[in-house]
Amino acid sequence: MRQRLESLLPRAWMRRGPLALALLPLSWLFGIIGAVRRKLYAAGWLASSRLPVPVIVVGNIFVGGTGKTPFSIWLVKALRDAGYSPGVVSRGYGASAAATHHVTAQSSPAEAGDEPLLIASRAACPVMVGRDRAAAGRALLAAHPEVDLIITDDGLQHYALQRDIEIVLCDDRGNGNGWLLPAGPLREPARRRRDFTVVNTSGALPNVPQPAFRMRLDGTFAERLSNSGEKQALTAWWQANTPGFSSAPETKSLKLAAAAGIGNPGRFFAMLRASGLEFEELPLPDHFDFASNPFEGISADVILITEKDAVKCRQLDALKHDPRLWVVPVTARIEGALLDQLLEKLRGRSPA
């Protein structure tokens, strides 16, 4: 039943059809509860904390993946290049620890969650996870006094932590049918306030609040999971499968597959197809834990996976030595003057 709902609802959320209309009264109730909660925080009836350094929240109102993690990695690196010493706090989806937990590149996904672990590995910055993001922020500052700015990954609705800048991510799905959960895909109203909108798309920008900036995720090579030093350009596999391409390193046809346990697997598959690849698709549930081996029955020479899935596959003996698994790192490219405008806002924020 859960799998059927996970398949049915995303399609229903893109239009105002019979199922969405039937769920609309529940959306009204959801909206009322959310509005009351926000007003209670604004009035001080619910406690919220301010940290002694600026806080940037990166989140989404569209339920599911919109590219927050690669954007957060880009943001950490961009702010570091601008002279800041950023750290990251996160809820840590699937993290086992109830209290705050310091994340390093050597942490396990079970302790830290897959996305914080990926941020710690790729961005090489201090990362702290915890259900209470304000407590996680204080713990991060205590452990790393050099940190002078905190980015919260997926904390848009966590109003217990006050913030200075809000960045809302979406993709080419825009706001879907524009309704709140469960009739639509939105956690909060589409026109909620924010400082910036970042749209993960290579196509036309959907109707979203301004200022909006386009983000593109690029992946041009893969590295073998069992040997991260062994890399392969994606175009080489395209050449190997193209008849008559004389410069191909090998002439035999390779059978490719691609798997993605992210919020929007289709986006990963579309990026690979843009490199000219043809492959069997294996979409997995978001934050798939690999308790069972989804690749066991696949007859493929190469299986391309996401970085988010790789952090878990590296922990499992049945997967980390599978020579067919290749990881495709992605890099966020942000168009426009987002960084300049963000830095301008930060300059107007005095430490608490």
Please state whether beta strands 302-306 and 165-171 pair in parallel, antiparallel, or not at all (unpaired). unpaired
List, in sequence order, every residue forming a beta bridge with 332; answer none if it has no partner.
217
Alpha carbon distance, N-terminus to C-terminus of the chain: 49
Residues 148 and 224 in one domain: no
Residues 291 and 146 in one domain: no
Tell me, yes or no, whether 153 lies in a domain. yes
| Per-residue model confidence (pLDDT) at position 248 | 44
Residues 153 and 270 in one domain: no
Q: Which domain CATH number covers 41?
A: 3.40.50.300
Q: What is the mean pLDDT of each run of 10 residues along the chain (352 residues)?
A: 68 93 96 96 94 96 90 97 96 71 88 90 95 94 97 92 96 91 95 93 78 91 89 82 50 81 90 91 91 91 95 91 95 91 84 46
Which residues in the chain belong to E strands, given as ranges?
55-59, 86-90, 101-103, 127-129, 149-153, 165-171, 196-200, 212-218, 221-224, 227-233, 256-260, 280-283, 302-306, 325-328, 331-334
Please state whether the peptide bond connecting residue 351 to the residue before it is cis, i.e. omega within 30 degrees of 0: no
As annotated, the binding site includes 62-69
Residues 274 and 141 in one domain: no
| Per-residue model confidence (pLDDT) at position 222 | 94
| Per-residue model confidence (pLDDT) at position 3 | 61
Tell me, yes or no, whether 352 lies in a domain. no
Tell me, yes or no, whether 81 lies in a domain. yes
Residues 321 and 339 in one domain: no
Taken in order 193, 337, 50, 155, the sign of the CA dihedral is: positive
| Per-residue model confidence (pLDDT) at position 247 | 43
Residues 155 and 294 in one domain: no
| Per-residue model confidence (pLDDT) at position 108 | 86
Tell me, yes or no, whether 160 lies in a domain. yes
Residues 58 and 134 in one domain: yes
Buried b (16+ CB within 10 A) or exposed e, 5-25: eeeebbebbeebeeebeebee
Q: Residue 15's domain spans which residues? A: 2-217+334-347
| Per-residue model confidence (pLDDT) at position 246 | 41
| Per-residue model confidence (pLDDT) at position 92 | 78
Residues 76 and 16 in one domain: yes
As annotated, the binding site for ATP includes 62-69
| Per-residue model confidence (pLDDT) at position 251 | 37
Domain count, the chain: 2
Tell me, yes or no, whether 312 lies in a domain. yes
| Per-residue model confidence (pLDDT) at position 86 | 98
Length of the chain: 352
| Per-residue model confidence (pLDDT) at position 216 | 92
pTM: 0.90
Tell me, yes or no, whether 205 lies in a domain. yes
